Structure 1
Amino acid sequence: MRVLIVGGTRLLGKSLVDHLVGLDEYAVTVLSRRAGIFSSSCRTIVSDRDKGIDLLKGEYFDWIIDFIAYDDKAVFKIKDNLKFGRYLLISSCWMPKLNLSNRADQFIHRVDSSLVSLLPDVTMNYLLNKREAELFLETNFSPGTYTILRLPIFLSENDHTGRIDFYVSRLLDDHPIIAVNAGQNYCQIGNVPDLAAAISYLLFDLGFDSSPILEALPSKATKVIDVIQLIRNSLKSSTEIVELGHNWLEQKLPIYLKEEPLWREIQMELTEHNIFKLIGRNSLDIEEWLPTVAILRSKMQTDNKFELRAQEIDLINS
């Protein structure tokens, strides 16, 4: 089976490549701007997305797994230049934030402007563009030739997003850490090895035909305060957790709300098109993997000397 993986190769994409090249059934090609990070068992095209697709023009792949199609034009580029049996668009479980009347396995045909206006600009633009990519698939691809896989936020020891480092760095510097709204909102965080394994299972699984949209939400939702405490305990930190409301922070330190990665998270209902349900395999509970990730990330930290942290400490002490 010939598989093309496009982008996403810092984190989940790399884990997926590592998983697939260990299986005899797959011949893996990776299109990535990053050289020298993959097994010699896979073919690597070192290029940006558009130039790389041009280099592969006319080739056939049984599966194309596309991590970086951020709008309809990017999907059209694939359709217009490559031949394939099936196309998998990696999207986001955040999509219902555009309209909360939709589940995590439904197309967003109508955007709720009142909700969109509350999103940070970078999140709003990301979701609106992903929506365009999804709707292009719905209207321009035949049923059975594509699948959209919506992923939750996920963490790993190789995480480049800064999400886990936000907490780890603060829990290591002996100053209090802020829990927005006491950390009472729920989040659903994916484990990278679980997600990579699930995707590889689904390449052979007829469950893909059950819906054009699948979601990969973990079965267990966790309060943000419990996530912070889990990381704190794994690091053997005695850092104080200070509970502050988002309205107050909006007045006193709005940049904190912009940078804090989990305070806007909401719990989403698992659907019948959850990939872990389809493959009959449970994802690990966060308590089983996050402590190890936190410890590994703690060994990569540098001195926590930056302006935002200094402002936080001044605010807490005032």
Structure 2
Amino acid sequence: MNILVLGGTRFFGKKLIELCLQNGHSVTILTRGQSGNPFGTKVKQLVVNRDDADALSQALSSTTWDIVYDNICYSPNEAHKICEILEGKTNKLVFTSTLSTYEIDGTVKTEDDFNPYDYEVRMGNREDLSYGEGKRQAEAVLFKEATFPVVAVRFPIVMGENDYTRRLHFHVERILQEQPISLPNVDAKMSYITDDEAAAFLYFAGITPIDGPFNATATGAISLKNLIGLIEEASGKHAKISLVGGDEKSQSPYGVPADWYMSTTKAEAAGFAFSQLHDWLPALVQTLVKELQ
């Protein structure tokens, strides 16, 4: 198939492209060019700033695609533009969305907990909206305006050795350096997914005849207390946890006030088998501890 990936030179976007290439597809990446092209001549590259609507439209003016993956849409304005540009030019769009479309209220989230089809659209750019609201608005625009099938993949926090956001690295480094970590609720449970599995589900969402919103996460959840415990066990260090205050540098990027994780019943019914969180998380923690010690 002929596949376009918007944003795909690092982390799970890179893994997605590798998976597409392994399966014999023709891949074009569209990026700003700031992270280079790790695939060389294996892919075609369009160097375009996604925020420049005119340049984006011109770059895609004479193209057609079997699947478009959009990993870098963060606002309703961006979603509206991509709907316009791709009209009649793609058979499907797979949009990378997020757990942040759901409220943090302690309940296990299903796709019905946020319904983009009925959500009131409020146009704006990414700087006008929070991350979660930007993704909610983008989903709403895509499902209301697109003339082609759309899948919105709602990921939790994605983990991996090459996570450029270094969120799990943050906790390992703070514990190794005996620095405090501020958390609002150590008992709050969260769900996670690896970069490999995130890429695998995106690929599945593209080639499988499904559409609509889908949760995608490893099976199971873990409290922040138990995650910290895994790091303590692997490092032999005792974490210094603060439940109130703390300076900005000490605040955990995983800090949430209540349970915040998803059900994958819908995706499993569509035929995707997710990993078990506890089968890979301890090994990932051990790997990062060894790298950062």
Equivalent residue, structure 1, for 2:134: 129
1:48 corresponds to 2:49: yes
Q: Distance in 2 between matches of 1:134 and 1:182?
A: 30
* Contact 2:92 2:206 (8 Å CA) reproduced: no
Give CA-to-partner distance per residue, 1:207-260, whole Å, 9 cap, x none.
x14xx11110221001111112223333xx222223432xx32xxx25257x31
Equivalent residue, structure 1, for 2:79: 75
* Contact 1:176 1:239 (8 Å CA) reproduced: no
Q: Distance in 2 between matches of 1:205 and 1:193?
A: 18
* Contact 1:169 1:298 (8 Å CA) reproduced: no
Identify which range, 152-161 or 259-268, moves more after superposition: 259-268
1:153-172 superposed matches below 5 A: 153-172=157-176
Equivalent residue, structure 2, for 1:283: 275
Q: Distance in 2 between matches of 1:162 and 1:14?
A: 17
Q: Distance in 2 between matches of 1:271 and 1:278?
A: 10
The runs of at least 4 consecutive aligned structure 1 residues that moved more than 4 Å come to: 98-102, 108-111
Q: 1:224 to 1:67 in 2, by over 3 A?
A: same
1:82-121 superposed matches below 5 A: 82=86, 83-97=89-103, 103-105=110-112, 106-107=114-115, 109=118
> In percent, how many aligned pairs have the same letter?
22
* Contact 2:190 2:259 (8 Å CA) reproduced: yes
Q: Distance in 1 between matches of 2:162 and 2:280?
A: 17
User: What runs of 5+ residues in structure 2 fail to find an aligned partner?
Assistant: 121-126
1:261 corresponds, among 244, 253, 256, to 253
Opposite residue 274 of structure 2, the aligned amino acid is N
**TM-score, normalised relative to structure 1:** 0.76
1:45 is paired with a residue whose SS is: strand
Equivalent residue, structure 1, for 2:190: 187
Q: Distance in 1 between matches of 2:231 and 2:104?
A: 31
1:84 is paired with a residue whose SS is: coil
Equivalent residue, structure 2, for 1:315: none
Opposite residue 46 of structure 1, the aligned amino acid is V
Q: Distance in 2 between matches of 1:194 and 1:220?
A: 14
Q: 1:170 to 1:242 in 2, by over 3 A?
A: closer
Give CA-to-partner distance per residue, 1:20-46, whole Å, 9 cap, x none.
11112x111111222231253211223
Q: Distance in 2 between matches of 1:300 and 1:36?
A: 27
Opposite residue 63 of structure 1, the aligned amino acid is I
- What is the deviation of 1:267? 3.0
1:238 corresponds to 2:236: yes
* Contact 1:187 1:267 (8 Å CA) reproduced: yes
Q: Distance in 1 between matches of 2:150 and 2:103?
A: 23
Q: Distance in 2 between matches of 1:42 and 1:296?
A: 31
Q: Distance in 2 between matches of 1:123 and 1:182?
A: 29
Opposite residue 261 of structure 1, the aligned amino acid is P
Equivalent residue, structure 1, for 2:123: none
Considering only CA atoms, is the larger Rg found in Structure 1 or Structure 2?
Answer: 1
Q: Distance in 2 between matches of 1:286 and 1:39?
A: 36
Q: Distance in 2 between matches of 1:14 and 1:194?
A: 12
Equivalent residue, structure 1, for 2:27: 28
Equivalent residue, structure 2, for 1:292: 284
Q: 1:123 to 1:187 in 2, by over 3 A?
A: farther
CA RMSD after TM alignment: 3.0
* Contact 1:46 1:52 (8 Å CA) reproduced: no
**TM-score, normalised relative to structure 2:** 0.82
Give CA-to-partner distance per residue, 1:85-117, whole Å, 9 cap, x none.
111111111211288897445325569xxxxxx
